[in-house]
Structure 1
């Protein structure tokens, strides 16, 4: 069966070049044919839609791409019929077709005698513009060789001389052609190489002896017809390709009614030919001449494309690692008379992992002392037929059974491909005197089974490990002991016990303990009992203790001097050793009574630091001041509404999350100021001294104000409307009223909506807006009374009579205390009631919000609730600029 397969493949390759005959073409031609004469035109596309190569079986005829058939030389038809074939070929589709052309000789008719003269005198052909000339390259002569004749029709009437110029005549290569002056015959003087000069274009001239040119200069082309004088050659000296072993060939389908064989692509050889393209001279064919080693052919070579494919279904690298092919390329479509060249192709077979590794031995035996760690105990080796050093032969070992405690480990030596078995955990003779392991081996690359092969099985081997008994030293259990110590514990505090055992008998008798020098001096250990105590106060804030951890190596020594080691890890646990303290304790609070943000810090770590709790420990001050939370570290300190101005030293206790209390004194200067810089470290009061008003003082001030109000009401009732008007001096007006007309003195302002405040002469003016629009003020030109008036259930102090009442003289001397003690509680009550209103209907009348507009002026606030109470607060009006001074003068009573 084996020899029949190549014959089948060869037959398929022959079928791939099958040809079809198209419709025959017949041309009627004269018996004598001149060179470059048009014979006829063939419809090539009717036979083959896309023809890459067009050639003629008879070299005396040439076929152009449009199907035109020309003669290449003069010939005469001796027989009645001449037949040749046009070959059409499509390389990509691998299709070749042919068209048979029959030339039938025309019958020559004898002309009528009476028309003979006319026939002789009639000019039948114009020779001044002939078709391009053709000269065969490498022509053997004889030389000079006539290749064409040009003639002018005007030679019948004139004496015509012919001349020519251009390449090959008077340009390089000079002297190759010349033209006879009288006849117009063009001659070649020597042979021409088409590969060097494929064609020439010369210019022919026809002139009379006197220089007249009856003809336009003729551009004449001399084409050099190709001769198959160049053998094809390969583009490389030798070709090298690779193909994986066990690559499978493939036989599939038909194409253009021809069976096509395609296998696994290996590579492609390419050749070139210097002869004329698209002719038989450059139509190349490839074939394999021989194969080394000379066994069953393993590869096929496509004759037209040069593609090499796999032919043998089983390429085994382990049997034949490479093949050498001697290939041939021949022109003339591979015909025996064509020129040929041979080349070399080397095809290497790449390795695939089609061979499994196997152990050289199925059983191994070794021994190791107990407690030995990281020691090599055995080397195992395998056999693998795949290419050495490739992933297909690289061994990967594994322990399949017997290593549940992960005491063994096996790795691969990359240099020798051996398996190295090591002990990574100490073995105990008392526990097991021998261990049996089962090891397996695989390859780095996955398996690729060869055709018709069975599934590979993993190779395994058993290893018996004998454990040797050794006199061992004491062993700590556990080998690492963690002991936590609270921060700042007393020296000598017992924190634990660390003992070792003799592995032979499992007891701790006769074992002594000690700590080698050179370690952190935090603890010591009792030599006999193994009890561990502190030798220092452990504080995480001290230099080497900041890490909070130290590892101490402990030695255990038995009666025979054998030593075992263990490690104690001492960890300092953070404790609550620090008191929380307020970072800033001195503050100045102005009249806006903006809350103070108290912030505390604690040097401890969580959970002995934040969140903090703040408390005021003094009951009396706790009734005047309040604390509200802000965040975990900060609380707000703010005075209550009735807290008077003064300097307060408030004891504040801060409690951390661990319950540790820190006592702090917060000193607050509650000052009647706009900015803290006005206080200059002192409480700002009416008397200028540090005054703290108590509850009884405030009550006394309120009772005095009520008594004064009662007296004023009594005076108003007695005097009636005849009382004297209070005189407002120019000096007083200068302080408050500004002339608004700069062109002339304005009229006296009588509008009740523009009223100077009553007590602006000495104490400064205050306007208090209540829900009933009643104010404490002085109305110019009207009666004035100082009485208690009910306004919606609230007491207000003001002037209420429009007229008819007798005015009362006063001294314009209402003290700040009287004014403040009367208005402040009532204003607070109004504000309180506004806040109680669920719908906030009246809050807009009392609570007004203002955006920040920069630093305030010396005049302070001018709102309805201004709390300016110093006599000097309006001193700025004494230094008015010129424009404002003019405005003030208009309001002064002259």
Structure 2
């Protein structure tokens, strides 16, 4: 392939030589790309465009300079021969000469030379610049992108290929490569918004060698084109602005997004406000920030009552506002500002309230408010601002939000204050938009006297008295006072609550005496206190009763002797162990323990008795005696010496053998044992043992108890930890006792420690752990988890169907026979149709159907009595009920009451009732087997009808889902079927129903085509010109009716409609600037009326899009100005043009007539306003004629009246200027004289003047110093 190479290729190598990329081994300096001593050219070119080195040169670091800098260059292919073009892929053979001729310059990517002897390159040497290619390229395709080649393609023949996304991965085939030349092509336009970057791998493989270059990564960046319009995030945008908002207030934003490359001009959006509707009170009510899209208020004068809504058309354009455009609508709702204060309907109220009543309604105070209902500016809050000292009243907002409700928060006292005068104010929830006076109302509250109950002081009285106070003794005088001081009533007393009957209350004086013996140990005394209620009753017409609480704190006296609780003991007659007897005393701690004991009578010879260490129990020990029954008399004294004789009955029995646990012998010389030698088997003891107690369990002893005297003790749960005292041990013998029956269900195992200590030595055995297992007894009946059990069974259920279970639980030991439960079916009620309708699984409690024949209609409920017994059914028993409800099965099909119906329906009516189809069903009402659904199975082609279930659930209702058309189909035959919500229990035939629907002909309105017609016409179309023929067709083809036309809505009266043909002509001059034209369109409605008996009318919408013409000359808004005759300043006059942008600004102005000698006039910089300047003249009134032209030369003369005033004020004889003035910029308005503080030397200047000359007492002077924030505007008249 031959190539002609541009000068750029030569420059590339010159640049390479100069920068050090190419270097000759010889120190000779190159000149004109040749060596110093050899005339052989350094570079030659081959037919494929590759420059060859004829002399040896060094290529530093691949394609980098000797300084490490990367260098690249561009070459342009201007000619390409076809001598080897047959090697291209088939999709590249279609490239035309024109395409090749138009091929742009492209980059050559070269595989760098390998540093090894083979062909493979090291990957880290690859630094390939990205390829940039524009999106949306229009071809022709396939299109050249860049050639890729290896630096050794002259040594061996190479085949090129590419892999990656866009090549052999989706999107497959987007990029291809010429296998021989390495030219990379793109086969179709790229889209940056779909994929902005591709990463491909280029491969070069020697033909016949199979040794490949390292793959070269190619990064292809898709260059963005401006192919996406800005898109608004919503349309319309909705916003609101309070009507009292200040100018510059930003209240909403619009936002558009451009899919083009972020940060580029293609996505740089500017916003523009295109139109505002309505344009009142100003056509520039809003300002749109072109950068942010923020919408601000640009003018005062929002008025919700007159202009509640504005519609803005907003445009967004990219390329900083010069590119692709899109538009949206912003709808702005003007919300109410609080410019009306709420006002009470009445200025004063009077109310009466009974005293002492909390929460009593005093008064409701309705208000009115002119603001928008149900807004914060309309909602109200109330405040009591005077008269509520003490906080007796509160005011709240009523449910209607339009009334204040005053109630009492404390009880009022007639005796203290008989009248309250409250001052109440009302405000809105929202602050006032302007300064408004607040409305107030006066409320006079009269307090009504109520008979109040006497009040005890204190309400609870505590007295301290001994419990043995004699009868008739005074306890306390407990009296009450009557708060009704005005009534002068008498108070009487009596007991209200005296549970023990200990008190006597004097009804006149309230003196309380002891009526009967008091006892601190009485059950009516709690924590040493006796509580009684005393009543005080006045003698009013309706007596009122007050209550006082009397707490008598009873001092304990020693009036109870100690007693022994146990009155029957059982003792072993051999080696008997001491019996511990419990002693109690009802008196308090000062008169009880410690106790002492004495044996009385003959008991002293047989028994010994002593107090235990705590002095709270008697240790009774038997001397050896024969088996018999004995009576023991024990006299027990309390700590004050008060005693009582207690008789105890003792039963002597022989002792059964019991286990002895021995502390094993220590292996050391001392007493201490090693813990690992202790392996003590558990003690098993049955629960519920009936005693007598304490009862022997086991003896614990040490193997050294013969050598030294030992004392035994136990610690742990049941000993010194809760339940304390359940187990005890004889300190001398080591016998372990249980003191009361055990309960396995409470605790099934105890772990405690036994201790043995040498008396006098203090040396102990290591503690021995004792495990006591409580053996289960069958002391718990099975308990059912509920009673009754409720279940249900469908009447069509098969035999063996299990539909419910009962469950009982036994608290005895799990897994033992004591908790092994069996179930038994005791009875069935009723016993029809079989006495064995059910089977009860004895192991699981499952209830199954045992016989077919359930019939819900005859036997809807069964009650079973079920028994559960432990010990595998032979032990304790319990029973419960199982109530079984037989539920309905769907064994009756619903049946239509009639097999066919005929109905008539007018055409075009949607939702019309066609027919109601009642059915009957023998299943249980209101169950799924009784409820019905309906379906049209034939005749509803086109879906014109709908069938639904009626409210009764027992009828199908057919209605029209679409309007029927008499002209297309005059009769429908429908086939309807009905089914239940539940499936049939057995195979049952469903019923069907035939409905014949006759369609009634109705006179239909003519139909315009299209319904909305748009025509484009110039606004100056002459009278009588044709606009358009807008006609309708009558769908009543059978009736052959005539259609006539007339205008229906033509607000401007511009149209003339031919009643026969529908041709519409211009009746009067059209004006694009008319208020009836919106967005350049005039909307009219055209009526088409047939000549039926009852004529039917169709409506079509005609939209006339008016092309603007230059029919409005520019005008000046201001027609009256005031100018100072000295040092006058220019006056800016606003120019407007009702025409569109093409026929308006920029404007130009000319002075006409004599005005030219006095005035000068020019346009402002924006060419939208006239700058009018006065030459110095005497004070007078002038008429100015200004001719203003639009950009098309259309003009209009505008007459302006100028009032030429003096620049100073004349002083009055008193030296005081009288004037009307207003102060702008942060000061309030004034009228009359100037501020008194300035008199008589008052400074003032004339409105609209910038003069520096002033008068003061008739003397001219300079302008006084005054704050820059104050501007005085005055209309002056000297007195």
Q: TM-score range by the shorter chain?
A: 0.3 to 0.5
Say which structure is richer in strand. 2
Q: TM-score, normalised by structure 2?
A: 0.29
Q: TM-score, normalised by structure 1?
A: 0.40
